[in-house]
Amino acid sequence: MISERDVISWNSVITALAQGVRWDEALQLFEEMEDKNARPNDVTMVNVASIYGNKGDLELAKQIHSYIMQNDIRQSLILDNALLGMYVKCGSLEEAELLFDSITKYQGAWCLSEEYFFPNYI
């Protein structure tokens, strides 16, 4: 039994739920994490972005992106790619392009964007 939850333990359970397609439970746990004043990190937000992308809800996608920016969550290649994928899955190539233009041109981001924007050519 975990006596004190840290961001790693929260992320472990959220990740397991997200990968098990138990998205609503993962999002409830994310909300509980916030209620307990546990600070989410980039790994937490990768999972949340993935869930919102899979749900295809553009408004929630924009809200979580705003949350990341407002809470100074560390940007990373993995998080940037998750956000790009989230916007594409939500059907907003415009938002994906705006994000893509605003991030450093990581090699990985280029590869991911090519996969999403040009799926028939890769």
Question: For 51-76, what is each residue's pLDDT tens digit?
Answer: 999 999 999 999 999 999 999 998 88
Phi, psi of 65 (to 5 degrees): -65, -45
pTM score, two decimals?
0.80
* pLDDT level of residue 101 (50, 70, 90 thresholds): confident
Domain tally, the chain = 1
Question: For residues 90 and 54, what is the distance between their CA atoms, to the nearest angstrom?
Answer: 8
Query: C-alpha angle with apex 113: 85 to 92, nearest 5 degrees?
Result: 50
Parent domain of 44 = 7-121
- Which of these, 94, 36, 86, lies nearest to 65 by C-alpha position? 86
* Structure confidence at residue 117 (pLDDT): 55
Residue-level pLDDT at 121? 45
**Residue 1 forms part of a structural domain:** no
2 occurs within a structural domain: no
* pLDDT value at residue 99: 86
pLDDT, tens digit, 9 for 90 and up, residues 4-29: 788 999 999 999 999 999 999 999 99
Q: Tell me whether residue 58 is in a domain.
A: yes
Half-sphere exposure of 15 (CA within 13 A, CB side): 12
